[in-house]
A and B are shown apart, each in its own frame.
Chain A
Amino acid sequence: MSLLELDGVKVHFPVKKGLFFDRTVGHVYAVDGVSLSVEAGQTYGLVGESGCGKTTLGRAVLRLNDITDGAVVFDGTDLAKLPSEEMRSFRRRLQMVFQDPLGSLNPRQNIESILSEGMAAHNIGKDQAERREKIKEILAKVGLPSNAMSRYPHEFSGGQRQRIGIARALVLEPDVIICDEPVSALDVSVQAQVINLLEELQESLGLTYLVIAHDLAVVRHISDVIGVMYLGGLVEEAPSDALYAGPRHPYTKALMSAVPVPDPEVEDRRERILLHGDLPSPANPPAGCRFHTRCPWVQETKCATERPPLLDTGDGHKVACHFTAEIEAGTVKQTLATGIEAVVATEAVAAEAVEVSEGDAEVPDAPAKTEEPATVPAQADAGEAERAEESPKA
């Protein structure tokens, strides 16, 4: 039995229009049927690009967003259906570390006050003196001096602020910490400090993490299991090493090939899979496989009509693609180019690109482009659409 289990979780935000009557004119399908399980003492990494719903999913676990459908089972209790009063007591055991370390700390509260607020709310410690002892101990654990207690957030550097955010979660002695982009606001040299801290804390306190990040390298470094999200759903889930050694879903392949590696030798050798266009809007996701509008291996059958389920292909490696086996065996052809043609050649110059690529063995024999319908919905800024609780004037 896993410590935290998500079953078919959906979070849909209504899109409202109208001045007096809030007519619901559609939904943003931020998270659309995600099932995953996090084992105690492990780290589950959730990666995906902006707008894929990873943050919404993390917040939904804590019920900071309403869950439209599905179950979030934590230690045997379904949080999704819990009355808010009872949910509050569960929040002690499930804590969150936010992305923006300055934005998530109240500028007018000193560190002692920030850290003891949650303790008081959950009746930890008899009096302030006892809480102060505990805070001192935690501050030492996260590598902050004890005189930090009387100081204010603006007096700290970015890395130190993130340590405060981690300390705030730790004082409540949680079982699970959800880290939403814990290091993306930090400089690389400081990033490493915080990543190491998270790992040390996990080891000494036996914490369970759900890490949400867009940086595949960071996630791979700290996670035991990685789930890759695309447009509200998981497309692939695998143990960290297996995912890196052999990504199976076309999206994961493209994502991994796009991550720059700080080594010229590697950069020069490897082949990039460039995707066409941008992320479609989660308010109007494509039918069938969500990725079919950009997938280099899109096939005429199934892809546009049937949504592939996340299926185990062995060794806990789960993939949501109709043609995983066929792509690996090479029996289905690549239908969209993945070289520079994907970036510069549009309809008007497509003919030219074909000519250029004829002598180029890299492109398989069907570079004639399938039209890309609705690849780029006009208003699609997917990142904004995710947050579009109010009408995004779609």
Chain B
Amino acid sequence: MALLSVEELSVTFTARGRKDATAVDGVSFDVDQGQVVGLVGESGCGKSVTSLALMGLLPRKGVRIGGRAEFDGQNLLGISERKLRDMRGSQLAMIFQDPLSSLNPVVPIGIQVTEILQRHRGLKGEKARKEAASLLDRVGIPDPDRRLKEYPHQLSGGMRQRALIAMAVACAPRLLIADEPTTALDVTIQAQILELLKELVDQEGTALLMITHDLGVVAGLCDEVNVLYAGRAVESAGRRELFAHPTHPYAHGLLGSIPRLDAPRGEPLNPIRGSINDKIAWADGCAFAPRCDHYTMECLTGTPELTEPRAAGHQVRCVNPVLPKAEVPA
């Protein structure tokens, strides 16, 4: 039984006088204890909205949420706000993309860290402060006692993100959701933060749901990868399988369009044509069809089903997947 099991999650934003906007359109995935699962996709694919829906952070009004998200036997989408408040921070925790705007600018770091310890672990006063200092130390912030008294603007970007990670792991949550945790950071700092996350997951056995647009980050960190496009998972597989045999034309195209540091130079990239705006509703067919090189009329006859054309556990939502020519039976 998976720790978190998301089934057909959908999120639709509604506003009077406007067409409904479906940001997430039936996403399913599982996260096991101690596993790192990646949600990858470009802007507008619904990866962040998925994480907000799981944490119950979407506004109550103007949003329609469907599907189920079982966490430890409870449906996260159906439980009361009071109960969710107890779980957030202690069972589930989240790291956001922009560390500056996720910290309160007028409150010292120390108070923000001890707040969680008071709320969920009942620590007070000197005890809480000591624990907070050891948490900052754990995530590699030098001189934690001084840092606790400082305000977010006094920390560098990398340190703010570390502070956020310290807050997220303060109560040893069972599931950590990281939404683009390194996008705002430089590569050398990104490498530090990713190593730190890897270490935390290894040591504590925390499950990590990693949301990112960077396939390089996914390749180094995730066990399972889900590629999202226009609100739906189009391909899911173990990371080795996915990167070795990208089978959905979108995943295939995405990997072909990234300049790689270790690839031979001089060859032009193979971009995917058009942009995310050229899409059709999943209900009418494959949303990627207008940009796809493999597109046929078959693609416009309703949502393609998930199939496993290549290997067990490697799911692809496509009627004309990219398969190696040699494997086609003669």
B270, CB-defined interface residue at 8 Å: yes
Within A238-274, the residues touching B (CB, 8 Å) are: 240-241, 244, 254-268, 272, 274
Which residues of chain A come closer than 8 Å to B142, judged between CB atoms? 277, 346-347, 372, 375-376
Counting chain A CB atoms within 10 Å of each CB, the highest count among B43, B142, B213, B215 belongs to B142
Expressed in whole angstroms, the minimum distance between the Cβ of B70 and any Cβ of chain A is 29
Given A49-B187, A188-B42, A195-B269, verify A266-B218 contact (CB < 8 Å). no
Interface pair B195/A272, CB less than 8 Å apart? yes
The A interface is mostly helix, strand or loop, or mixed, namely helix
User: With the chains together, A345 CA to B139 CA distance in Å?
Assistant: 8
Shortest CB-to-CB span from B216 to chain A, Å, is 3
B199 contacts A by Cβ under 8 Å? yes
Q: Pick the residue among B188, B191, B269 that contacts A192 (CB under 8 A).
A: B269
Which bracket fits the contact residues of B? 35 or more
Chain B nearest Cβ from A160, distance in angstroms: 8
Whether a CB of chain A sits under 8 angstroms from the CB of B262 is: yes
Contact with B along A313-347 (1 / 0, CB 8 A): 00000000000000000000000000010111111
Task: Say whether, besides A158-B275, A192-B271, A343-B140, A376 and B159 are in contact (CB < 8 Å).
Answer: yes
| CB contact list, B231-289 vs A, under 8 A | 239-240, 243-244, 253-255, 257-262, 265, 268-273, 275-277
Chain B residues with CB under 8 A of A361? none
Of listed A159, A214, A381, residue having the most chain B CB within 10 A: A381
Report if B8 contacts A (CB, 8 A): no
Q: Which of A260, A268, A340, A348 has most B Cβ within 10 Å?
A: A260
- Enumerate chain B residues within 8 angstroms of A157, measured Cβ to Cβ: 275-277
Verify if A196 is at the interface (C-beta below 8 Å from B): yes
Q: Report A271-301 residues with CB < 8 Å from chain B CB.
A: 272, 274-275, 277-279
With a CB–CB cut-off of 8 A, which chain A residues contact B159? 278, 376
* Least CB separation from B155: chain A residue: A381
Q: Chain A residues with Cβ under 8 A from B220's Cβ?
A: 260-261, 264, 267-268
Cβ of A41 to closest chain B Cβ, rounded Å: 16
Q: How far is the CA of A340 from the CA of B262 in the complex (A)?
A: 24
Q: Which of B158, B187, B259, B260 contacts A195 (CB 8 A)?
A: B259
Is A201 close to B, CB under 8 A? no
**Whole-angstrom CA separation of A187 from B43 in the bound complex:** 7
A383 touches B261 (CB 8 A): no
Contacts of A204 in B (CB 8 A): none
CB-defined contacts of A190 to chain B, threshold 8 Å: 271, 275
| The stretch of A27-35, A88-96, A216-224 that contacts the partner chain | A216-224
The tally of CB-CB contacts under 8 A between chains A and B is 178
Q: Which residues from B are CB-within-8-Å of A372?
A: 142
The complex places the Cα of A386 from the Cα of B195 at a distance, in Å, of: 28
B236 to chain A, nearest CB (A): 15
Residues of A with C-beta under 8 A to B84:
none
Give chain A nearest CB distance to B138 CB in angstroms. Answer: 7
Q: Which residues of B contact A262 (CB under 8 A)?
A: 215-216, 218-219, 243, 255, 258, 260
A191 touches B268 (CB 8 A): no
Cα distance A267–B188 in the bound complex, in angstroms: 15
In the complex, the answer to whether A345 meets B271 with C-beta atoms within 8 Å is: no
Residue A378, interface by CB 8 Å:
yes
Q: Is the CB of B139 within 8 A of A344?
A: yes
Residues of B within 8 A of A257 (CB): 191
**Smallest beta-carbon distance A201→chain B, Å:** 13
Among A240, A241, A343, the one with the most B-chain Cβ atoms within 10 Å of its Cβ is A343
- Whether B301 is near chain A, meaning CB under 8 Å from some CB there, is no
Q: Is the CB of A258 within 8 A of B243?
A: no
A259/B261 in contact, CB under 8 A: yes
Q: Is A177 an interface residue (CB 8 A)?
A: no
Which of A188, A241, A260 is in CB contact (< 8 Å) with B254? Answer: A188
B266 to chain A, nearest CB (A): 9
A64 within 8 A of B: no
Output the least CB separation between A375 and chain B (Å): 8
Q: In the assembled complex, which residues on chain A have CB atoms less than 8 Å from the CB atom of B216?
A: 259-262, 267
* B189 part of interface (Cβ distance < 8 Å): yes
Measured in the bound complex, the distance between the Cα atoms of B277 and A261 in whole Å is 28
CA distance A105 to B172 in the complex (A): 47
Whether B265 contacts A240 by the Cβ 8 Å rule is yes
Indicate whether B186 reaches chain A with its CB closer than 8 angstroms.
yes
- Contact assessment for A241 and B139 in the assembled complex, using a CB-CB cutoff below 8 Å: no
Q: Which chain B positions have C-beta within 8 A of A357?
A: none
Contacts of B270 in A (CB 8 A): 192
A7 contacts across to B, CB distance below 8 A: none
- Closest B residue to A381 by beta carbon equals B156
Asked if B140 and A344 make an inter-chain contact with CB atoms under 8 angstroms apart, the answer reads yes
A172 at the interface (CB under 8 A from B): no
A202: interface (CB < 8 Å): no
Across the interface, which residues of A come within 8 angstroms of B277, CB to CB?
A: 157
Alpha-carbon distance between A240 and B217 when the two chains are bound, in angstroms: 24
Contact across chains for A192 and B219 when beta carbons are under 8 A apart: no
Which A residues are CB-close (under 8 A) to B187?
A: 49, 214, 216, 255, 258-259
Shortest distance from the beta carbon of B160 to any chain A beta carbon, whole Å: 9
Q: Which residue of A lies closest to B158 (CB)?
A: A278
Instruction: Tell me if B98 is interfacial: C-beta within 8 Å of chain A.
Output: no
State A187–B143 Cα separation when bound (angstroms).
Answer: 38
Which are the 6 A-B pairs with shortest beta-carbon distances?
A260-B216, A192-B271, A192-B257, A258-B191, A221-B259, A49-B186
Which residues of A are at the interface with B, using a C-beta cutoff of 8 A? 49-50, 157-160, 187-193, 195-196, 199, 214, 216-218, 220-221, 240-241, 244, 254-268, 272, 274-275, 277-279, 340, 342-349, 372, 375-376, 378-383
Which B residues fall within an 8 A CB radius of A?
A: 42-43, 137-144, 150, 153-159, 186-192, 194-196, 199, 213-220, 239-240, 243-244, 253-255, 257-262, 265, 268-273, 275-277
Known: A195-B259, A277-B142, A346-B143. 14 other contacts (CB 8 A): A159-B275, A189-B272, A191-B257, A195-B269, A256-B261, A261-B216, A261-B219, A264-B220, A265-B244, A343-B196, A345-B140, A376-B142, A381-B155, A381-B157
